[in-house]
């Protein structure tokens, strides 16, 4: 019986698996570089556009809305055209988007900047979902949990992007110059990596009567994923993971500065400690997933994040709060890759399920900054972050849903990555 996606591509040689793995790790790193390299120049962007902080924040929401809109349809796009074609289209979209951002900042015109932010938001979703689907394919080929390694590379790329932005700023280079230079380098590298990084994933939808059936089956699969309780509950895990990781990036430095009357550099080091903890666990924690299974590791991660958040939010001392930062970072490390891996258990349905699950994280990224900002005005930034505990508890409650699926659709947590 034909399926929306061909689940049985030709078995690759071990060398090609290794090549695909490293190529995808580079893709994740580039994704991280691209995002933080321009977001780290927000003070200069605000000055170039002549906006207040509040106006700039509202403008950036446009990019988040673009991401949300794209996420809702990316599953069908991947099912119809494959991950490789989707990545090529996303790269082209990023080139246009960054070009518009450069025009906006160089001319002080908000309109092209907003258009560029929206286009980059769409392109970000068209990159994020395919690279995660391909990473899950590599994990299946390897036969053990390695998806956290890819997310660790994203974290490393994000840190590198911030350093790139700092370097351009230190040299007195304009934001427009940086945008063009970074986009040129990233585009060339993506062009080199696109074929090897997508070697293990099905490349297009197939159907009983050609393109029309393929198109219809892809759309049906994308809509059908929204009716699957397991997929929706995995989405809640991703929502909590995105709140935990994203809120730290947005608010932790300010929480340390305001909460402990510390210098700005101390706040930056605190966030650096969080990222370091998260990256180390993403590289070292895959063995735990293989040994103890996804559910046990996700529950341990949730407990670590919960204790860390409570320590950070309630501790009267910066020393014990710093312990909370480490525990929070360790707890935030594996939830996202575990959820993506769970959504990708069945290759035939991976694209729509990953798209649905990641839409929850997009909602978190859109809603968390303004909601936490309002709460911070009332109770302070450090105490406002305690609201994330509710999402972590919810993630713990539904953690059993990430058990690997067997071939008959049942769940099995005998292995960390994928059940036999």
Q: Which of 28-32, 253-257, 262-266: highest mean pLDDT?
A: 28-32
184-239 pLDDT, tens digit per residue, is 999 999 999 999 999 887 655 444 344 444 455 556 666 778 889 999 999 999 99
pTM of the model: 0.78
Answer whether 4's CB lies under 8 Å from 215's CB.
no
Report CA torsion sign: 102, 103, 107, 112.
Answer: negative
Q: Where are the domains of the chain?
A: 15-195, 221-420
Answer whether 282's CB lies under 8 Å from 157's CB.
no
* 15-195 topology per CATH: Growth Hormone; Chain: A; (1.20.1250)
Q: Which residues contact 167 (CB under 8 A, 6 or more apart)?
A: none
Give dist(CA 77, CA 84) in Å, integer.
Answer: 11
CB atoms closer than 10 angstroms to residue 185: 14
Q: Which residues contact 254 (CB under 8 A, 6 or more apart)?
A: 267, 381
Q: Which residues contact 144 (CB under 8 A, 6 or more apart)?
A: 286, 290, 416, 417
Q: Which residues contact 268 (CB under 8 A, 6 or more apart)?
A: 253
Q: Which two tokens stand for residue 383?
A: 């105490």
49-101 pLDDT, tens digit per residue, is 988 766 776 777 777 788 778 877 777 888 788 889 999 999 999 999 999 99
User: Which residues, listed in sequence order, are joined to residue 405 by a DSSP beta bridge?
Assistant: 411
CB-facing half-sphere around the CA of 268: CA atoms within 13 A: 7
Question: What CATH class is the domain 221-420?
Answer: mainly alpha
């Amino acid at each position: 019986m034909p399926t929306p996606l061909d689940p049985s591509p030709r078995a690759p040689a071990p060398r090609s698996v290794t090549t695909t793995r490293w190529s995808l790790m580079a893709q994740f790193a580039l994704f991280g570089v691209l995002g933080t390299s321009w977001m780290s120049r927000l003070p200069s962007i605000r000055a170039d556009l002549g906006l207040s902080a509040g106006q700039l924040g509202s403008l950036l929401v446009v990019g988040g809305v673009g991401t949300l809109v794209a996420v809702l349809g990316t599953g069908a796009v991947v099912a119809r055209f494959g991950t490789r074609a989707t990545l090529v289209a996303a790269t082209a979209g990023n080139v246009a988007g960054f070009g518009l951002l450069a025009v906006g900042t160089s001319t002080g015109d908000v309109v092209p900047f907003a258009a560029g932010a929206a286009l980059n938001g769409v392109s970000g979703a068209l990159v994020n979902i395919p690279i995660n689907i391909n990473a899950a394919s590599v994990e299946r080929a390897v036969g053990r949990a390695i998806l956290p390694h890819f997310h660790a590379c994203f974290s490393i790329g994000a840190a590198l992007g911030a350093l790139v932005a700092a370097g351009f700023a230190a040299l007195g280079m304009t934001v427009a110059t940086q945008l063009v230079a970074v986009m040129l380098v990233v585009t060339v590298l993506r062009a080199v990596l696109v074929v090897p990084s997508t070697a293990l994933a099905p490349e297009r939808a197939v159907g009983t009567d050609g393109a029309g059936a393929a198109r219809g089956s892809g759309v049906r699969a994308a809509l059908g994923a929204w009716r699957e309780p397991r997929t929706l509950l995995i989405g809640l895990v991703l929502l909590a993971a995105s709140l935990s990781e994203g809120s730290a990036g947005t608010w932790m430095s300010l929480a340390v500065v305001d909460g402990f009357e510390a210098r700005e550099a101390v706040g930056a080091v605190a966030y650096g400690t969080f990222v370091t903890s998260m990256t180390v666990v993403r590289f070292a924690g895959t063995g735990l997933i293989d040994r103890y299974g996804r559910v046990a590791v996700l529950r341990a991660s949730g407990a670590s994040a919960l204790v860390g958040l409570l320590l950070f939010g309630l501790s009267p001392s910066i020393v014990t709060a710093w312990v909370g930062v480490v525990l929070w970072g360790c707890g935030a490390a594996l939830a996202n890759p575990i959820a993506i891996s769970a959504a990708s258990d069945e290759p035939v349905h991976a694209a729509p399920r990953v798209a649905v699950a990641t839409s929850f994280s997009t909602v978190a990224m859109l809603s968390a900054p303004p909601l936490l900002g309002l709460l911070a005005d009332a109770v302070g930034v450090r105490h406002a972050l305690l609201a994330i505990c509710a999402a972590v508890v919810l993630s713990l409650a539904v953690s059993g849903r990430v058990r690997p699926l067997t071939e008959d659709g049942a769940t099995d947590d005998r292995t960390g990555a994928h059940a036999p």
